[in-house]
Amino acid sequence: EDQVTQSPEALRLQEGESSSLNCSYTVSGLRGLFWYRQDPGKGPEFLFTLYSAGEEKEKERLKATLTKKESFLHITAPKPEDSATYLCAARNSGGYQKVTFGTGTKLQVIP
Amino acid sequence: DAGVTQSPTHLIKTRGQQVTLRCSPISGHKSVSWYQQVLGQGPQFIFQYYEKEERGRGNFPDRFSARQFPNYSSELNVNALLLGDSALYLCASSLGLDRPNEQFFGPGTRLTVL
């Protein structure tokens, strides 16, 4: 069965303190690894798609990387507005393209 | 361009009732998926529809059903509601099944079952 595990569950950073969020996945035939940001009570907001090991994507203070077993979301010099829950999800290549989500990392950036 | 829209925003039902949730995908997107998100958890996959056909089903009971219309909008129906069905129901659309296949989510429908 496909599994996506995120760590840590929660992370508290000082403004400007860089860190990384981890996403470990076990998926039969990865057809996409996705990162989303979710604010309380809202739908997830798409950030990145990664398709193959070694791929990297960047957007402002965020950078996502992918290996054969893990993905990392690096946050450089975070600001308070980066506070949110970050979700990782993986799509398999079965006859039904199921997307499995992790439980998320709740990030709090303190001024 | 308008994003994914969902209606209603909030819904309160009692146990045993039936509910219908609606979703309109981003213009040009032919695939719609439904997810259930319980507080503190990641979204759980319920259904995927592509070109009006069911292409994926998660581990949910038969009380859950869905359909996709010719204009690619979709409905999720839940019968015989249980207290445990209280959750945020999310709809996501994507262009199709091949790359790029990222999904874009709507704001969700908050369902409360009393």
pLDDT in tens, A61-83: 999 999 999 999 999 999 999 99
Secondary-structure class of domain A3-110 per CATH: mainly beta
Domain boundaries, chain B: 5-113
Domain boundaries, chain A: 3-110
pLDDT in tens, B85-103: 999 999 999 987 776 788 9
HEC string for A30-89: CCCEEEEEECCCCCCEEEEEECCCCCEEEECCEEEEECCCEEEEEECCCCHHHCEEEEEE
> Which residue's entry shows tokens 């992790």?
A102
CATH code of the region B5-113: 2.60.40.10
SS3 B85: helix
pLDDT value at B44 more than 60: yes
The answer to whether the Cβ–Cβ distance between A31 and B107 falls below 8 Å is no
Structure confidence at residue A96 as a pLDDT band (50, 70, 90): low
pLDDT for the residue numbered A97: 65
How many pairs of residues across A and B have Cβ atoms under 8 Å apart? Answer: 63
CA gyration radius for chain A? Answer: 14
Residues of B in contact with A51 (CB under 8 A): 99
What is the rounded distance in angstroms from the CA atom of residue B74 to the CA atom of residue A7?
34
The answer to whether the Cβ–Cβ distance between A34 and B102 falls below 8 Å is yes
Residues of A in contact with B104 (CB under 8 A): 46
